[in-house]
Structure 1
Amino acid sequence: MQRGIWITRQVRARVQWTQGVRLRRLEYVLRPLLDAGLDADTIAAELHSWMLTWRPTRPAEYIRVQLAKQVSSEHTADQCEAAEGWNEEEASGALAASRPDLVRSVLDGLAAGLAAYSATQAERGLDDLGDHDAAGDIAEFLSGSTGVPA
């Protein structure tokens, strides 16, 4: 308990717009940060990162609302990742792939995207008006002349 007051006192001294708030009230609204084990420097840096160019009328209430928004946005992001089937391992796989594999993967994706786009354009009657197949030429280029083994 004493640790929280001590940290809060340091934060209040470092963040000018919090200096009018009663110490106990400030400790109460900073409780999520204190419970997370953050020190005075980190909490002060967090409050400064909000880059206020004005002084809130009720600083404690402002801090409470901002921290609640952060928690809510983190929760929403977690829900979106879960709903979309986000897989951290799969997503970072491209970063661990060797360059030839990565280039091949990108080129294969481009070829598939181009084929789908060409098919859509052909259905709309907007396909190539020339006497040769441009999509075929590009697909042939992507599959053979890149210097990357398939």
Structure 2
Amino acid sequence: MGFVQLVLLEGVLLLSAGMIFFGGIWGTVAATVALSGINLFMHDLTQFWRWEIPLLFWGMGGMILLLIVGRIANKSQVVTGLVGGLISLVLFGAFITPIVAIILWALVIGTGIIPKNKKSQVLWSVAPTILRLILGLVWIIYGNILTL
């Protein structure tokens, strides 16, 4: 596989992770379809099903987890500016090193994001965002393993 194809593949994988983060359940469906397309492109029919069954299984598991955690988080009724803050963290991280990006994000955007409520309410309000980040990272790793 050439360099340009690898760069395009990483772009599709990052786009899939972004779809999961911003789209939630529907983004996870779209990312699963995108990874299925990569799987179809990279493997013959026998290897395709070897990779596709776990992909569909974990995709459905991720969607169910997002649904459950989202419902629990909505019951806590804590609204924060966390998603906007995380978007700025991604933008800072795209141009500078991650450690400096986290420090800048905490100094510029991070103040006042977490409300002074019960710790469990704050945890459940942050849980869907963290779950989306984890699912996006897992999809990037799985997509890279698909190309081996």
Query: Above 0.5 in TM-score?
Result: no
| Structure index of larger Rg | 1
TM range (shorter): under 0.3
TM-score of the aligned structures, taking structure 2 as reference length:
0.25
RCO greater where, 1 or 2, for CA within 8 Å and sep 6 or more?
2
